[in-house]
Amino acid sequence: MSKVRVMSFGMTLDGFSAGTDQSLENPLGVSGPEIMEPFFHTHAFKVMVGRGEGEKGIDNAMFEESFKNVGANILGRNMFGPVRGPWPDEAWRGWWGDNPPYHTPVFVLTHHPRASLTMQGGTVFHFVTDGIHAALERAREVADGRDVRIGGGVSTVRQYLQARLIDELHISVRPVLLGAGENLFQGMDLRALGYQCHKSVAGERATHVFLHKIPVL
């Protein structure tokens, strides 16, 4: 059955999943790359970005799993790029070049309309201006029974969690302290929202923690 999933989402020990001051020079925010460091060494990531071979341990297996059975993706606008406010033009086409890693339809949450953008490899960015529920409905329609992945950023994941729309959440906990940034769970009572931890796996550079939503009887 189709699920709504967050996969391979990085977090530091002090709860941050993005650094401060995201910009063209710092896509993940200041010190943000430290959060995703476990995956940068994996074979799957290196192949994806054309950097040869990498490690094939547990972290790699977790990263590979996050792309399986995904029929559509949802991103916040900050995950698509650093442009703010109304789109000045359509020159910005994402962080990933002409062939982004999604290879599915991608629904980008934004307050400002923009025409859909077709990229190489099957990725098509659609810009959704009427909220998280509308984006999820459209994503489910095109996913054709496969899963919908909520790719971030932090604000987007928080909105879907607070609406209790995420079925499974895989957090890659990195043993570092960031000190400042965007905190994934701050002020959120996940237990009251019906989530519980059902598995944790120690990887080479991170501990992989899996939460799932408890069905309402």
Per-block average pLDDT, block size 10, for the chain (217 residues)? 93 94 85 90 89 91 94 96 92 92 96 97 97 98 97 95 97 95 95 95 97 83
Q: Give per-residue pLDDT as tens, 10-43.
A: 999 999 999 998 888 888 888 888 999 999 999 9
CA separation, residue 94 to residues 42, 73, 98, 137, 169 (Å): 23, 14, 9, 23, 25
pLDDT at residue 6, as a whole number: 98
Please provide the average confidence, as pLDDT, over all residues in the chain.
94
Element (H, E) at 147: strand 147-152
Cis previous bond, 29, omega within 30? no
pTM, two decimals, is 0.94
β partners of residue 74: 107, 150
Yes or no: say if 44 and 64 are a contact pair by the CB < 8 Å rule.
Answer: yes
Q: Give per-residue pLDDT as tens, 36-65.
A: 999 999 999 998 888 889 999 999 999 999
Tokens read off for 166:
């995420």
4-22+29-87+98-213: CATH number: 3.40.430.10
From CA 170, how far away is CA 95, in angstroms rounded? Answer: 23
